[in-house]
Every structure is written in C-alpha cells, then in structure tokens.
Amino acid sequence: MLPDRGLSLHCQSIGDNCEFGLVPRNAGAEPLGLLRFAGVPVRHLIRALEHRFEGNAEPRHLHVQFEHHECMLRLARYDVLYHAFALEGDLDPAEPHQRAVRRIAYPNPTPTAATKPACA
C-alpha cells in the first residue's frame, strides 16, 4: 500500500490507459474520475478537452461492447474506452449502458456564460 492516500486523491488519469486507475486504489482511495479506468487516443483527448467534453453524456454516444468477455463502454464522440467491471452474461445487457449514462452525467455541468472561461 502506498503511504500517501491523500496525494493519490489529487491525481487524475489523462486516459493513456486504465492502469493509472489502480494507483489510488493501492493507496486505499477510490476517487471519481471519468478517465480513471479508461483509454483514449491523445488526438481525441485533445479534441475532447478543447470541446470541454461537450456531449459526452448523451446516451446515444455511449456504446456497450465486449472484449474477451469483459463488458467495455465506448464514448463514441471522443473514442474513450473504459471498463464497466462486469463480464459478459453477468448483467442484463441494458444495465451497463444505464449505469454508464448515470456515471458519465455526474458531474457534467453545462458551461454557462458565468462559468465558461473568457478564453473559451
């Protein structure tokens, strides 16, 4: 176990792959993070950041797929692939999609004139 649980709560994965998501877990922490157990090509991550992940929580952009019998979720708009932590056949096929829609939508504030940066 890592000695600094607090430090791990201040680190976020930028989506290279899912392995960084294990770092806080090994330190005894379970922080929320959209890309914590995800992988995304850098060019798509840059586009997602430029667009402030606009539209990422729309259910029509979320697809359930299986790789080696593991349930994976793809945010098609930005080509983000992440683990659903379920095996094929363990769940009702609609359940991973419904859980992911709730997870991705929270927190997903829509920028307003008051919250949008002046440079955006």
Pair 87, 69: CB distance under 8 Å: yes
Give residue-wise pLDDT tens across range 6-34: 888 888 888 888 888 888 888 888 888 88
At 51 the pLDDT is: 93
Q: Is residue 120 over pLDDT 70?
A: no
Are 2 and 26 spatial neighbours (Cβ–Cβ below 8 Å)?
Answer: yes
pLDDT tens figures, 52-108: 988 887 888 888 899 999 989 899 999 999 888 888 888 776 787 787 777 776 554
Listing DSSP states for 41-84 in one string gives -HHHHHHHHHTTTTTTT-GGGEEEEEETTEEEEEETTTTEEEEE
pLDDT above 70 covers what percent of the chain? 83
pLDDT at position 112 is 42
Helix (H), strand (E) at residue 34:
none
Give pLDDT, residue 105: 67
Q: Are 76 and 44 in contact (CB under 8 A)?
A: no
Give the residue with greater pLDDT, 120 vs 73.
73
Place of tokens 């927190």: 107
Distance CA 110, CA 40 (A): 22
C-alpha count within 13 angstroms, C-beta hemisphere, residue 46: 3
Peptide bond into 93 cis (omega under 30): no
- Tell whether the model's pLDDT for residue 44 goes beyond 50: yes
**Whole-prediction pTM:** 0.72
Per-residue model confidence (pLDDT) at position 109: 46
